[in-house]
Structure 1
């Protein structure tokens, strides 16, 4: 991949569980790292589920290879949040292709 295609600054976040004083807890997201990536939409769709309109956009994010990125992380780009669905490294581990669903 040509480096010029990596023109979007994205942040990969990881989840941690924070306990509260009542014995419960909540999920907090913290920044793991920021990197340059190529964010491109794959398809847009509108579905009717249970008589409600549900919108979803699937994106593909390409970045330089970084070990340890899993479906338990998420990506933030330009104030938008993307849940990771699949992570595919190339054969020589130089690039990652990440399939994401935008959280609406």
Structure 2
């Protein structure tokens, strides 16, 4: 993976349980697990109508150097926008990681 194509900075976050309330309800927050260089491609923007409202679903692909432990439960912050991770794909033999995200 060429370093020149990794020209965007993204933050990968994980939802963690900080503590519990006096009623045993979990208190959760998003914790930063990595800030990495990535390449970014906006794949599609699909407009949907669910009968009550119209919304746009944006799908983007981020390519990063290999980083173990990332799951679909994590999320990406890029350029002030939040992307939920829809899928992960290994590039080569742990050379890189292709992450498809949906803007939340």
Give me the TM-score of the superposition, normalised by structure 1. Answer: 0.91
Measure, in 2, the Cα distance between the counterparts of 1:27 and 1:56. 26
Give the match's secondary structure for 1:59. Answer: strand
Give the match's secondary structure for 1:44. Answer: strand
Give me the TM-score of the superposition, normalised by structure 2. Answer: 0.91
Q: Extract unaligned runs of 5+ from structure 1.
A: none
Tell which deviates more after alignment, 49-58 or 94-103.
49-58
Which residues in structure 2 correspond to 1:37-56 (within 5 Å)? 37-56=38-57
Equivalent residue, structure 1, for 2:65: 64
Deviation string 1:9-68 (CA, Å, 9 cap, x unpaired) is: 101111112322333234310100101001110001111013310211000000001111
Give the match's secondary structure for 2:70. Answer: coil
| Structure 1 segments of 4+ aligned residues over 3 angstroms from their partners | none
- Counting matched residue pairs gives 103
Equivalent residue, structure 2, for 1:75: 76
Measure, in 2, the Cα distance between the counterparts of 1:62 and 1:91. 12
Q: Extract unaligned runs of 5+ from structure 2.
A: none
Equivalent residue, structure 1, for 2:93: 92
Equivalent residue, structure 1, for 2:9: 9
